[in-house]
Amino acid sequence: MTKKRGNPNWCKPQPFGPSPIITAFEQTAKMFELSPEQYIHSIALKEWVRANKHDKFVPERLLDAWGFDDLK
């Protein structure tokens, strides 16, 4: 039996553009099942931000709203 040659996926379309990147903050908000309107009022999210604000991306408006000004 001979080995098949070539790319078997050559006729399948590839998605255009870069794949969307999901940040750790967005993953955490999704895990807590929060909408953007609920971010400021979430105690669990605030504690996560307190623990991860130096290592992970956090929207600046939340840092300002919660008084985490030591990053600026």
Q: Three-state SS across 11-38?
A: CCCCCCCCCCCCCHHHHHHHHCCCCHHH
pLDDT tens figures, 12-54: 887 777 778 899 999 999 999 999 999 999 999 999 999 999 9
Residue 6 CA to residue 72 CA, distance in Å, equals 54
Residue 20 CA to residue 18 CA, distance in Å, equals 6
* Residue ranges per structural domain of the chain: 24-71
pLDDT band at residue 70 under the 50/70/90 scheme: low
